[in-house]
Amino acid sequence: MKCILFLIAFCCLSCNNKPNIPEALIGKWKTYETKLNTKDISKSSDPTNENGLEFQSDGNYISFGNPNHQDQGVYEVNKDDLLFKSKKISGATRAKMLLTQDTLQLKISMDTTTTLFMKLYRMK
Domains (ranges, CATH) in the chain? 2-122 (2.40.128.540)
Longest dimension (CA), the chain: 67
pLDDT in tens, 101-119: 899 999 999 999 999 999 9
**DSSP structure class, residue 68:** G
Please state, in angstroms and rounded to a whole number, the distance separating the CA atoms of residues 66 and 69.
5
pLDDT band at 85 (very low <50, low <70, confident <90, very high): very high
The pLDDT score that the predictor gives to residue 43 is 76
